Amino acid sequence: MATVKNILDTKGKEIFTITPGTTVYHALELMVEKNVSALLVMENDQLAGIFTERDYARKVVLKGKSSKETAIGDIMTSRLITVSSASSIDECMELMTGKYIRHLPVVDEGKLSGIISIGDVVRTIIQEQKAIIGHMEQYIAGQ
pLDDT tens readout for residues 62-86: 888 899 999 999 999 999 999 999 9
> Do the bridges between strand 17-18 and strand 38-43 make them parallel or antiparallel, or are there none, so unpaired?
parallel
Q: Which of 102, 107, 116 has its CA nearest to residue 83?
A: 107
pLDDT at 1: 78
pLDDT in the model for residue 132 = 83
Cβ 80 vs Cβ 50: under 8 Å = yes
What pTM value is reported for the model? 0.87
pLDDT at 129: 85
> Residue 66: what residue type?
S
Tens-place pLDDT, residues 87-111: 999 999 999 999 999 999 999 999 9
- Domains in the chain: ranges and CATH: 4-140 (3.10.580.10)
Question: Residue 101's CB: how many other CB atoms inside 10 A?
Answer: 18
